Structure 1
Amino acid sequence: MTAVRYEQRDGVARITLSDPDRGNALSPPTVAELARAVRRARADDVHVVVLAGEGRAFSVGGDVSAFAAAEDTEQMVDDLAEALHRVVSDLHRMDAVVVSVVQGTAAGAGVPLAAAADLVLAAVSARFTLAYTKIGFSPDGGSTLLTASLGLHRALRLALLNSVLTAEDLRAAGLVAQVYPDDELAAAVEDVVAGLRAGSREAQVAAKRLLRETATPAAEAALRRETLSIRARAGSPDGREGVAAFLAKRTPSFPSSLR
């Protein structure tokens, strides 16, 4: 069974995370499939990419059960973070206008993955939370780049307090382009895609490059720092306790907080 579906027609590529029973969790195989789909969209030279999740969530983030099962958690998390960061970087660099569509939950790495798009459209039911520190991890997936789009203190609130923000909260903060009633989201996405397709592709590419390079000129270095940090946290006593508590559905007791 594939965890990522790719469809391309009339200059529009649709990449859909299609593992709804697991909340479209970002396991190593899923991220590998996602990377192939993004590369395929670049090779197809499409005008617009629509990135969405099937079912109740856009993505619940990293597959915590896979972290717990790994023989070498640090290496597994390092490899996963690097793979996901290549996807984020490819989304940033591609000429196509990327539109992410968020319904239900975007958690953990699902938040920066959605934010890697040029336009984020959300259902009114959408909820966003980083939640990394709840399991003793530091943010990855491009979370540190949120300081450019959200502002430092909003990003710190997300990272340190694990706040759950509504789609309207993030529209007001400037990350979400527009919020729609749940039953109108699909039609709204088609309207946005049609408007983009009717515009000048060359002008859109130029605008993307100018704005992204100005807002995040050191994005690659930031993504590498995220990888090194989350690897260290994953192998730490706090990280191991956080994963165990998450899977057991209990409140973690972090060793570093007991000193």
Structure 2
Amino acid sequence: MSAALLTSRPAGNDTTLLLTLSNPGVRNALHPDMYAAGIEALHAAQQDASIAAIVITGAEQFFCAGGNLHRLLDNRAKDPSIQAQSIDLLAAWITALRTCSKPVLAAVEGAAAGAGFSLALACDLIVAADDAKFAMSYARVGLTPDGGGSWFLAQALPPQFAAEVLFEGKPISAARLHKLGLINRLATTGTVLQTTLAWAQELASVSPHALAHIKMLLGAARKQPLATHLLAERDSFVQALHHHDALEGIQAFLAKRPPRYRST
């Protein structure tokens, strides 16, 4: 079986789209076919009002080993543009994850290495097994990061620790990253996907309109000064107040009942 990104709706949780990295024999190593499928799946999810959240995981309780070194060796014999095109497609998938208006959660068992780590970092929330490992192992094979790995780590970690992770390329425990806030929740091995799907289902009870705009504000906060961001928050708040989700949410809160948000 070749590399593939499998899509499904988990039983009993039809508001969540599950994307499973599958590349048997090479620990779900990434492939351009996966990138293209991921972009297509996110585009479809964006248009499907019945999908409230997206979960990315790996087959056979292993998230992703990153790039396939055998494929990279083969690409050395080809024009450099071939590898550049592959990285551009990965970047397009990472961008689609960041710009998708719906929450994206990573469920990490085993390990997330190289671009697999970058992929997990591109998600909004990360749930990991308490014994999972994360590694930006590029430098150990003479390479440099792709998929936004260096950008995400520089944003999320103290400068010295980000440098350590990237310079050494050694595995970092999920527990250590959890203490630093890079991982949201730890779960017992074998229960990570179940835990993540339950969280995704919980997010389905929150206003989809509010979540979309909060995700947009978080992304914008990384690149604009406070004065500009305060204006963006004002405009978002006013627009949200006059959206039907706010009417339902406020009325439900005052009536002490669960809100019933309808598709936008």
- Whether the 8 Å contact between 2:109 and 2:190 is mirrored in structure 1 is no
**Alpha-carbon distance in 1 for matches of 2:36, 2:190:** 31
Q: Which of 11, 14, 39 is 1:10 aligned to?
A: 14
Aligned letter for 2:94? V
Counterpart Cα distance in 2 of 1:4 and 1:49:
13
Residue number among 130, 155, 159 corresponding to 1:152 in the alignment? 159
Amino acid paired to 1:6: T
Match of 1:94 among 97, 100, 105: 100
Whether 1:120 aligns to 2:126 is yes
Q: Superposition pairs for residues 16-95 of structure 1, below 5 Å? A: 16-45=20-49, 46-70=51-75, 71-72=77-78, 74-95=80-101
Deviations 1:148-203, CA, capped at 9 Å, x for gaps:
12232222111101121111111111111010111332331232112101111122
Kindly provide the CA deviation profile for residues 195-217 of structure 1, in whole angstroms up to 9, marking residues without a partner as x.
10111112211211111211256
Structure 2 unaligned residues grouped into runs of 5+: 225-264
- Residue 198 to residue 153, structure 1, CA distance change in 2 (3 Å): same
The equivalent residue for 2:181 is 174
Gapped regions of structure 1 (runs ≥ 5) = 218-259
- Asked if 1 retains the 8 angstrom alpha-carbon contact of 2:52 and 2:103, the reply is yes
SS in 1 for 2:190: helix
Give the TM-score normalised by the residue count of structure 1.
Answer: 0.78
1:72 Cα offset (Å): 1.8
Identity over aligned pairs, percent: 27
Go from structure 1 to structure 2 and tell me whether the alpha carbon gap of 1:73 and 1:121 turns closer, same or farther (over 3 Å shift).
farther
User: Deviation above 6 Å: which 4+ runs of structure 1?
Assistant: none
The letter of the residue matching 2:19 is: I
TM-score normalised per structure 2 = 0.77
Match of 1:229 in 2: none
> Are the structure 2 counterparts of residues 32 and 190 from structure 1 closer, same or farther at C-alpha, using a change threshold of 3 Å?
closer
Which has the higher relative contact order, 1 or 2, with Cα contacts under 8 A spaced 6 or more apart?
Answer: 1
1:143 is matched with 149
Distance 2:126 2:223 in 1: 18
- The count of aligned residue pairs is 217
> Does the alignment pair 1:203 with 2:210?
yes
Contact 1:122 1:176 in 2 (8 A): yes
Is 1:67–1:73's contact at 8 Å kept on the other side of the alignment? no
Contact 1:67 1:76 in 2 (8 A): no
How far is the alpha carbon of 1:96 from its aligned partner? 0.6
Distance in structure 2 (CA, Å) of the matches to 1:103 and 1:216: 32
Counterparts in 2 of 1:193 and 1:68: CA distance versus 1, 3 Å = same
Measure the CA separation in 2 of the matches of 1:126 and 1:82. 28
Instruction: Give the Cα–Cα distance (whole angstroms) in 1 for the partners of residues 111 and 186 of structure 2.
Output: 14
User: Which of these two proteins has the greater Rg computed from alpha carbons?
Assistant: 2
Deviates more, 1:169-178 or 1:62-71: 62-71
Residue matched to 2:236: none
Per-residue deviation, residues 27-52 of structure 1 (Å, max 9, x unmatched): 22232223322222223242100011
28-37 vs 56-65, which deviates more? 28-37
> What is the match of residue 231 of structure 2?
none
